[in-house]
Structure 1
Amino acid sequence: MINNNPIGVFDSGIGGTSIWSAIHDLLPNEKTIYLADSKNAPYGQKSKDEIVDLSKKNVEFLLENNCKLIVVACNTATTNAIFELREAYDVPFVGIEPAIKPAANNSQTQVIGILATKGTLNSELFNKTAEMFQHTTIIEQVGHGLVQLIEDGNLYSPEMTQLLESYLQPMIEANIDYLVLGCSHYPYLIPQIKKILPDHIKIIDSGEAVARQTKNLLRDKVGFSDSTENDPVFYVNSNPKVLESILEHKYPVIRKDF
């Protein structure tokens, strides 16, 4: 089955480009449209109703651009709005949620850490997932301030280092052997996180799993592209410079109010 329409990807800002990158690496022949709602970032401090409304707005923008499948590349939007999106729109969705299962199943200490937004950790979906692993101690930490620093282009600032140390040190003391990154922005912090964590603590994010699920949906339901016109398109509704920098200036970024 051939379907040359693009894959849509949205996030509360630039963080979902970590998910987009995994999809692009696995499916290089697919055209993608990435939507960064940076004007409204971070979603993690907003109410469920606000998150649902913003997510629907993003989906409608992507559907107007004929997207055949939509990846919700935001943990907070997935855990708070994915059910509402699937009910409201007749298009396949791929969500992203913290990778608790592989961490809990592989942990030797039976203690894992999760760094995520308040919106994700408070969501019903997250708590239902966490309840499945009652033999594992889950150390939850809200990453207050991390998303905003990334969105502001302060990835390597002293403030970022200080925040990460304050969030991770209690997890180290609690004897975690896996750290789950529960926000699509956080993979950009991995180089700094590795400087803080002991070598035996493994870091897990959801990018590759989301890319594999996207591929499975294309194969089973939607159809792959056979077009040679597959340059990605990036939209943002705030200053494009940070997104351009994250993309290493490889692709143009279009500023658009939405």
Structure 2
Amino acid sequence: MSKQPIGIFDSRVGGTSIFKEIHALLPNENTIYLADSANAPYGTKGEQKIVELSIKNTELLLNKGCKLIVVACNTATTNAISILRAKYNVPIIGIEPAIKPAALQTQTKAIGILATKGTLSSALFHKTSDLYANSITIIEQIGEGIVQLIESGKTRSPEMTGLLESYLKPMLKANIDYLVLGCTHYPYLIPGLLELLPNHVKIIDSGLAVAGQTKVVLETSNLLNTESKIPKNEFYINVKNTEVMQSLLGDQFNVESLKF
């Protein structure tokens, strides 16, 4: 069982940032990644539809023998993870904005959160904010247009720079010292963000925490793959165009178009 793959799914290609953190921390693990781009974005769909899509993705990964599922999508985590955990007898790990570490470590008592509308309006987001950040100032910003630019290959474009500058302006005015990235696409913005942010502002995303939790769960469940063989990493997207996903992953991995 320990040699079976880790399954990862997202509504688009942004969850590849989560894969990279898992792969870096657990280089022996085999993985299967699903990008459900044909049904994206999940955030515009109702809860029932999001649950249906999450079940579909989970069952496809389980049918491929996955020993653990990572829901690398904030919207799917918020709407479906409790149902998935009740329905399936495998460990299931979700993702949510890293508000807690930012709230606990801020010195200026102000943090910025860049996320999708679906994440910022979710009950899970508000519950986490109320629990850890009720004594600090939170500057929330919906990242309108960011995902579209990334998926159009314009991550380091003048359009993206202008968009980020406008989103960061109210955060910097409020004297934030932490910027929380609340979408799996957004770690691909970090090189550009570092050029726009003052040196004292730290960027936090959920990828490393998800990878760390994955390792802990595998260890406690005796599912960690200790073989030193070269792992098999499979990537599937259910649209014909694989170029953007391929460019985000690099040439060392192969992306395939698969109808699901």
User: TM-score, normalised on structure 2?
Assistant: 0.94
- Establish whether residue 13 from structure 1 lines up as the match of residue 15 from structure 2: no
CA RMSD for the aligned pairs? 1.4
The aligned residue for residue 192 of structure 1 is 192
Alpha-carbon distance, 1:222 to partner: 4.7
Aligned residue for 2:176, secondary structure, equals coil
Residue 34 of structure 1 contacts residue 235 of structure 1 at CA under 8 Å; is this kept in 2?
yes
Q: What whole-Å deviation, never above 9, does each CA across 1:151-194 have from its counterpart, x for those lacking one? A: 22221222222221111111111111100000110000011111
1:72 corresponding residue in structure 2: 71
**What is the CA deviation profile of residues 59-90 of structure 1, one whole-angstrom value per residue up to 9, with x for unaligned ones?**
11111111000011112211222112112222
Which runs of structure 1 show a deviation greater than 4 angstroms over 4 or more consecutive aligned residues? none
**Structure 2 residues not aligned, in runs of 5+:** none
Match of 1:232?
Answer: 233
| Structure-2 residue corresponding to 1:34 | 33
User: Secondary structure in 2 aligned to 1:184?
Assistant: coil
Q: Secondary structure at the match of 1:8?
A: strand
Paired residues of 1:80 and 1:120 also in contact (CA < 8 A): no
Which has the larger displacement, 48-57 or 142-151?
48-57
Which of 228-237 and 211-220 deviates more?
A: 228-237
The 3-state SS of whatever aligns with 1:234 is strand
* Residues 33 and 222 (structure 1), Cα distance of their counterparts in 2 relative to 1, 3 Å cut: farther
Q: Structure 1's 252 and 213: CA in aligned 2 closer, same or farther, altered over 3 A? A: same
**Aligned partners of 1:69 and 1:222 also within 8 Å:** no
> Offset at 1:148?
1.8
Correspondence for 1:118: 117
Secondary structure, in 3 states, of the residue corresponding to 1:5? coil
Distance 2:200 2:45 in 1: 35
TM-score, structure 1 as length reference: 0.95
Q: Does 1:223 align with 2:254?
A: no
- Give the Å deviation of 1:147: 1.2
Query: What whole-Å deviation, never above 9, does each CA across 1:6-53 have from its counterpart, x for those lacking one?
Result: 000111111111110111111111100011112222323333233222
Secondary structure, in 3 states, of the residue corresponding to 1:120?
Answer: helix
Query: How far off its partner does 1:229 sit?
Result: 5.4
In the alignment of these two chains, the number of paired residues is: 257
Q: Percent identity?
A: 61
